[in-house]
Structures are given as structure tokens and as C-alpha cells.
Structure 1
């Protein structure tokens, strides 16, 4: 268990006479203030499931669905926690043991969907203004039964980012389906304090937590200085063409999502090419994103829809990326081995990287009206592999740094301060909107500080953590029968204002690219064009 378990048992007016509390950690505070700002960064996982008709009545009955969710809350108490904001600097999780024993109607709801389009519409409503989540409801599940295909059901697990990440959602999907298939898996024997300890804040899980106070202060100071030096050169930058004004960050994002899948054959070739060249797909994805974006930008210039001044600016401007990192393998090893590796809680950090100018090759001196060159004419395969290896070295160098955790935390206080001020301003009525503001040019956007090209990360091979089939014992205890089959899993994100996010994952041996974006800022045609180029670049550089 963590060397410093911050959970405390405190008196309460509830029937048990007590609750458990702990303060939010640093990254949790970041996502809490995101949550206050129009539910920004809430995450949702759609598990599309095929149900055995003979077991449907048992596996998907309202009582079973609620019982299984209550069981998950007992395993992972943050699912049933609330957040209490006692002051701007005193925000705590509160866990009432009685709330973990039952699932309320607002936590588990069953609805009909007449098509996959209606499923997508339900997801859109949950992410864009009709979220059931609140400080008193940090996670819930929606069961959408497909009337156009009675064998299909969609299980939507919707969560505030303050208590979960993608690793947590994998755990919740897997174990919820296991419980629905086989109720015999339901036992929760660990003491409450041990379960709560697994849901500790990552800043309480440092491997060096037993060091002297002086050593800890030195490590924090050194980590902050190193991070400041690394980020000092990250200025300017640009992204896909977008429409923003100086007021854009004050409006909630209109979250949009799209995806594209590779065939199993192409997926196999992509991964084999990465292995052959000593690459991880996490190091490849940002480079593919940059090349694909270079082609979108170049195409717009050649078609006459981008000015000469803007094109000249973009050709010499670096690109700055940000992405989440799984911190679980880097914190307290005992916590990790005791269950922290897959616990339903939040345990992420972030990396920042700056890429060189966009790769143009023969396109650098073309004029409007010229045809778009091929991928290899703009960027050779040898240079592509070199840049991917450079990205891998940079990411690995950051993650293997002795002060990795301190560096990761060093920028969080400023982030918390900025988000808190924005949230409190919004609560007070917000800054009056100023209609008619002119859109900022890419050059003007870069003058206001660095511009993220896009965020992004790969979720890896989900086949390793999400079984395709979930079996139940027959009534006479013989060989198990398949009760549920996981057909597809999709991730969704409530975007931040101006956000553009690229993800990748593999499930059922098919890699998929996911793009999430603020529809108030980016045109759908532009994003879809980028996604098409991403797929084509991946095939050209890795699958052919």
C-alpha cells in the first residue's frame, strides 16, 4: 500500500456514522477544474456487445445490471464517491460506504436505440450539454438496447476524468462484462481502507516518498528547473486551419469524433514494420500526424485557399505536441503489484515535444495550381524512420529520467491556477462576450504563446486487456457457454475549447485511428481530410 495513505475515516451524519475522505491530488485538481468548466475532459467508452439469446434475460435484466455496477463500486470506491469543494484550495473525495452497496436509477439507466446512428446521437448528447455527471455522480452506465438488432446492446460507461483514465475504463468494461456473464465472480473481500489505498493520488505514490524532506525539496526544485528549460524553447507553433477569436476559450467546445480502421492484414504489416525498425507506435503516431497535416496544408495552399503570407509562416514554424502518459509503472511498485496497475482511478502524466518544420521536400517551392506531390516526394521513407526514432529517443529519455515524476508534476500548479481562475470567472457570470470579433490568423495565434499542433496517444493493443468473449457456467456446472461477445469498443472525449486530439488503438486485430475535435473551431471537412491523409501515410510508410 502507499507509504502515505491520505484517506481518513471521519464522522458523518449518514446511517453508518462515518465516511472516508482524502484531498484531491495535483492531476486530479486539474481535471476537477476542467470538470467545472462545462464538464470538459469527461470520457466515455462504448462497448458494443452481442448477447446470447438464451442468457439475455439473466445477463441484461435491470436487477443484474444494477447489481453488477454496485459490485464494481465496492471494488473501486471512487465510482461511488462525491467531490466536495469546501474552498478553492480544499477539495476532497468523500466515500459513503452505504452508497457503494446499491446502484441508483441515475447511475444505471436502460434505454432503446433504434440504430447505430441513435447510439451516436445519445453519445453526442451526453458529451455536449446533457451530461448526467456532477460532483455527486462521478460515473454512470447507460445500457442502449438496439431494437434494429435484438442481439446487440451498447454499454456506455461515462466518467469524469477526475477518477479515471483509459486504463481504468478498460478495467471497468472488462469486469462489468465478466460480472454480467458470471455472477460468481462478485466477491469483494479486501478491507475498505486497502481498496481506498489503491485509489491514492499519484503524487502520494512516489517511489522516493521515504526520502528526507530536504531530498524531496531538492528533487522537486531540480525537476521544475529542468522542465522550465525544456519548455522555454517551445514557442509559436501551428495546427490545422481553424477559426478562433480572443474569446474562443470562454465557450464550451462542441465535441466531435471520427475514426478510420485498417484491415487486419494492414494492421499486421504496420506493427511488423514498427518492430523491424525498432519503433513503438506511440513514437510513430506524432510523425504520421505531422506528415498528414503537412499534406493538408500544402493542398490548401496549392488550391489557392491559403495566402502566401500564411504559407510562408507555416513552412518555417515548428509543431508542438502534447500527450498523456501512463504513470502506473513508474510509481510505488508495491501499489502497482497490489492492483494499482489496473485500478479504476486516475494515474496519468503528460509529455510535451517539439517537432521540426513540416516536411515538404519537392513541395517547398511549388506555386498555387501545381499538383500535390507524393508522400515520398515530400518526405522519404528513410527520413520518416529517422524522425520516428528521434521521437522515440525523446519520449524514452523523458520517461527514463531520474526526475521524471518531479518533472511531470512541476507544471501542474500553474495549470491548476489558470483553470481555477477560468472556472471561478465562469461561475461569477463570465466575461461578457464580444460579438463580431475578428478571427485570429495563425501568425497572431502563435504570438499569444505556443500553439499545440494536436494532442494524442495510442491506447495500445486492447486485445491484450479486453477479452472478446465472456462466458457463464451452465446450470449444472458444466463447460461454460458464451454469454456475451465484445464486438467493438469506442472511446469518446469531451473536448477542451480548441482541442484537436489523435488517438490509436487495436482491437480484434484491427488498428483504428480516432480523432476528437472542437467543432466550433475546426471544419469537419478539414479534419476528415487530415484523417484520410493519416491513413494513407501509415500505409505508404509502414504497410507497403
Structure 2
């Protein structure tokens, strides 16, 4: 019998209706439109997976915990709880891009779907990450998430605690498109996954949990109000006055805030080479990390604010010009604290909830190393103040709305241009008349982006999975040519700093800068 398609309540603020349900037997089809921020990440990803995220975790565990059947049950259960992971994307037009979720017909259907996105390998951590970043794209519009487990034979005694413990070394790679969610979603998911996997539940218990999860969601008749996909960022933001004058005022405020962003430094690029992303990473032992955190606290800054200062000093020691112009760095802003609760599948944290802010600091530094240390802490406090100002601004919601709108428009414009170039139909727009050209503005180049994840040991509840001993975490995304992002976080008691960048897209100035970053960490943070 043909499926009966009916509309159910939408959760957008304007009461428009864009969630579809296909109710035939147990099979249901849910759809919703991508929000502006999601679209701004989806459109650039189409060709080669730009911004596809990964989370690598290295850990030791009993081999029985990591059997494929047990892993698949846990993976399938969480894909039911977080349906965007098991969704697809359909693009009908630049303004009509949709998540599509086909609910599994049965528990076996849920297991088979999860198993199709689960892979076991025998690769090292570096091989896994390199293949993901530089090889063919792992994800696609049909597969928005993927889980890889790798087990390597022990190289020496450090890889296993002892033969009696039966602890083996494993690597996990969790892959997801960025328009599905953000770093907080990745880490919360990994914590839940390991909590399930390392629990005292038997394999049969996990299968029973999966059955209960499926039946609770899809095995019984549901009211329409219970159906839906996690809402977009824009639908989760608190409502703002939306009259014509209010919209005009929002846009004026947004443009004025953007006009204040001045930056005169960027890394020289080498165009034309095939992209080759590398991720040099350092970790600092727990004792030194504690001392660094104590030093930062004494200076009234977080380690995140200090890393802005580290980058500032490192670049000042790398560059040889434009000292009079400031350095601008950009970073993501976690918007989850200001969002309203979702009505649909409200136990899911898999959604994209980031805004953006910039830190602008002077470039010039004194010659005296003692004076450099004073300047460093002063600039770290300035970075803290700028970060706090962005997060606590009364205009945060309205500026986030305008930023989402701008990014969505830009992404659609660039996507059309890319597609027309691919078809050979693109024509460059004519230059504006001289009378319409605006007066020259100060430069607004950003040197680098920083992804500062904070203390990840606050997310990973290690005590909840004592059978698993985590020791390594690396994260990042597939980049476009000439991409660069610096990561900083604490995990397993250690401070980790990594620089993901296109090795083929820059000259050796990046290597000098990275060396200066590590030197600055040693000398200024201790």
C-alpha cells in the first residue's frame, strides 16, 4: 500500500511546517530543512568533504569489550537516540536542502544500518588520521557519520599493562560531517559510547537495550507531536523582535561590530599544490600541566586565553613586517548555554551550535625577554576580556542570527559559482562603477583560527568506564587548500596543542611559527 504522507508540527519560530512523516507500518520518514549555519557548512563540503570532522581516541581495553557485535549494538543504540547520525541529505536547490531520516523498520534493520557505517582496521593512529584527512572522502550525502576501530599489535611493554590484564591497545575514529554537529556533540557522544561499551551489561543486555530503544521510539504508535528531528541553531536561539525596524537595527549593529575587526597579518600561501594536511601535536605531562594551570590562575586567565597570547608572541617573533598593524585571530563560540530547549527528540545533543568571535592584539613586542613575559600576560588578559565580551554581549543572539544569515548567503553564492564553473557557464560579474566604490577600509585579515576546547576531562567521565584507559585524543577536520587551525585542550590530565594545516599550501614560515609556539609555551607558561 502506498505510504501515507502527513505533515506534523514544525518547531520553527514562525510556525511554518517543514517536517514530513511517512507513516507506513513502522516505517517513518522525517525531513527538515537545513538551517543557515548548517547550509553554510554543507555547501562547501559537497566536492571533497571540507570541514568533515573527526575525533580520534587512543585507549587500552579488554579485547572482549571491543568485539564487533558489542560495538555495533552500542553504535546502533546511539544512532537511534541521535537520528541525525543516521540521516541523509537531499539537495533540491540552493535554498532547499533537507535532512532525511528513514526510521529503521526493526531492531535488525537498525543493526544492519549501524554495521554498514562501522569499520574495523589494523592501522596506526597516524595512518588512520592521514587517510581521513588526505585520502578519498569517507563521508557523503548518504553517510553522514562513520565509526572506525583499529587494533595494532603491541609494539612494546607500554602497549599492554600485563598479560594477565588482557588490556589491548585500540584506536577509535569517529567521523561526522560538520553540519551535523560540533565538537561538543563529538565529545559527549564518545563519552556515552564508552560508558555503554565498558558497562557491566552483557552483550545480550546491550541487545535488549537496543530493542527497548527501538520499540520505545518506533515500535509503538506515536503521537505526531513526538516526532521530529533535532532543530537547527536558528530555531533554537531565543526569539528576538522581528519587525522591519528591528531587523534593520540588527544589521546595522552587526555591520558596525564587523567593521571594528582589524587585522594586518596572514601566512603567505603557495597556491596550486595538491592539499596535504598534517597535524603536529604535542602533549605536556600532568605535573607540568598542573603548574601551567596554576600559573594561569595566578594571572587571572584560563589556558585558552593564554593560548591566544602564545600565538600572538610566536607570530611576533616569526614575522618581519607590518609591526604597526594588529594580529587578528578567530575562534568558535559555544552557543549552547543561550539556546532554548528543543521539542523534538530533546535528549539529542547532535546539532550545530557555534557562533564566531575574534581576538585582536598588537603585534609589536619589546626586545627584553623579561618585558615580553609581562606583555604576554597582559595580552592574555586582553584576549580573556575580548572573549568574555563576545560571550556575554547583550547582542549575542541578534549578532548570531545575522552571522548565520550572512554565512548562508555567502555559501549559496560561492556554491552557485563553483557549480557554474564546473559546467563552464560562469561569467565574472562586471566591476562596480568607480562612483560606487567604497573608500578603502583597514585590512581585516585573520592570521589563524583557534579551536580551544577547554578541559575535556570534564566531559569524559573516566570513572564511569574504569575498564577503559584513555591516553590519547586528537581532533580536527578535513581542510580546504591553505587551511590552518590550532587546537588546545586538556585531556587525561595533559595539556595538548596541535596545529592542523595544509603543508603544501604554505612556505616554511609555518614551521618557524610552530617552533616559536612551542618555545613560547615552554618559556612563558613553564
TM category, shorter: 0.7 to 0.9
2:356 maps to which residue? Answer: 350
Whether 1:376 aligns to 2:385 is no
Q: Distance in 1 between matches of 2:312 and 2:76?
A: 44
Whether 1:145 aligns to 2:145 is no
| Match of residue 260, structure 1, among 277, 282, 285 | 282
Q: Distance in 2 between matches of 1:148 and 1:178?
A: 25
TM-score, normalised via structure 1 length: 0.78
1:359 maps to which residue? Answer: 364
Whether 1:237 aligns to 2:264 is yes
SS at match of 2:119: strand
Going from structure 1 to structure 2, the CA distance change for 1:8 and 1:415 (only over 3 Å counts) comes to: closer
1:474 maps to which residue? Answer: none
2:100 maps to which residue? Answer: 94
SS at match of 1:317: coil
Going from structure 1 to structure 2, the CA distance change for 1:18 and 1:280 (only over 3 Å counts) comes to: same
Whether 1:228 aligns to 2:228 is no
Whether 1:61 aligns to 2:61 is no
2:325 maps to which residue? Answer: 317
Residues 318, 513 of structure 2: 8 Å contact kept: yes
1:201 maps to which residue? Answer: 232
Once the two structures are superposed, residues 444-484 of structure 1 have per-residue CA deviations (whole angstroms, 9 ceiling, x without a partner) of xx99963210001311111111133554xxxxxxxxxx432
Q: How does 1:31-430 map to 2 (within 5 A)?
A: 31-52=41-62, 56-57=63-64, 59-98=65-104, 101-102=110-111, 103-113=113-123, 116=124, 119-148=125-154, 151-182=168-199, 183=201, 184=205, 186=209, 188=213, 199-207=230-238, 209=239, 213-214=242-243, 218-235=245-262, 237-244=264-271, 253-297=275-319, 311-312=320-321, 314-332=322-340, 339=347, 343-356=349-362, 358-362=363-367, 375-376=369-370, 379=372, 381-430=373-422
Give how far 1:412 is off. Answer: 3.0
Give how far 1:196 is off. Answer: 6.8
Q: Which runs of 5+ in 1 are unaligned?
A: 298-310, 363-373, 433-445, 472-481
Q: Distance in 1 between matches of 2:345 and 2:295?
A: 33
Q: Which runs of 5+ in 2 are unaligned?
A: 1-9, 161-167, 219-223, 425-439
Give how far 1:213 is off. Answer: 4.0
TM-score, normalised via structure 2 length: 0.81
SS at match of 1:227: helix
Q: Distance in 1 between matches of 2:139 and 2:380?
A: 39
Once the two structures are superposed, residues 57-112 of structure 1 have per-residue CA deviations (whole angstroms, 9 ceiling, x without a partner) of 3x222222222111111111110011111111011111111188233544001111
SS at match of 1:101: helix
2:7 maps to which residue? Answer: none
Q: Distance in 1 between matches of 2:16 and 2:342?
A: 16
Q: Distance in 2 between matches of 1:355 and 1:265?
A: 30
Residues 284, 388 of structure 1: 8 Å contact kept: yes
Q: Distance in 2 between matches of 1:196 and 1:336?
A: 6
> Cα RMSD (Å) of the superposition?
3.2
1:503 maps to which residue? Answer: 487
Give how far 1:352 is off. Answer: 2.1
Going from structure 1 to structure 2, the CA distance change for 1:320 and 1:20 (only over 3 Å counts) comes to: same
Give how far 1:272 is off. Answer: 1.2
SS at match of 1:492: strand
Residue-pair matches, total: 472
Q: Distance in 2 between matches of 1:451 and 1:274?
A: 29
Q: How does 1:427-438 map to 2 (within 5 A)?
A: 427-430=419-422
Residues 223, 404 of structure 1: 8 Å contact kept: no
Residues 227, 410 of structure 1: 8 Å contact kept: yes
